[in-house]
Amino acid sequence: MALSVNDNFPDVTFKYIPYTPETADITACGIPINLKPLEEFKGKKFVIVAVPGAFTPTCSANHLPPYVQEAQKFQAKGVERIIFISANDPFVLSAWGKANGVTNDFIIFASDPNAEFSKSIGFSVDLTNRGLGVRTARYAIVVDENGKVAYIEKEPGTDVSVSGADAVLAKL
């Protein structure tokens, strides 16, 4: 199923580990829980940013940092949460958030297990030839207060021209 602007965002479940002071150390694991964006953020705007992998060069250097730096601008535009997803497991994603100094719940790092959600909307990428398996592609989705897709773009290349913080802020 392709996902387009004005479509209802699907009822999807991701897995994540909420940040807590008790699990603040990067080596602390925490316990994964379900994240159902449509339920948890009902009536609120949220952004999903997908990356091929935590701790990878473009994702860590060019994609995540601007979202962290511009968090207040997203909040000022009515965004309730930014959810970074990847096919990585929730433990790796939790560590990636901590390694990047994210100690709040405004930016959530969640697993798209086996890239199932990304596959379902046609936004996965097969990196098997590089030893990485099937991953989430690099993309961004804005879901409005009514649960409708207000913006959705997949990167055409390896940069962050349509899924980066500046591009998404311009669409809010």
Question: Which residues are annotated as catalytic?
Answer: 59
Report the Cα–Cα distance between both ends of the chain, in Å, rounded. 25
Max alpha carbon distance in the chain (Å)?
42
> How far apart (Å, rounded) are the C-alpha atoms in residues 86 and 89?
8
- Backbone φ, ψ for residue 165 (5° rounding): -55, -45
Residues 6+ apart with CB under 8 A from 16: 32, 33, 35, 90, 93, 94, 108, 109, 110, 111
> How far apart (Å, rounded) are the C-alpha atoms in residues 92 and 132?
14
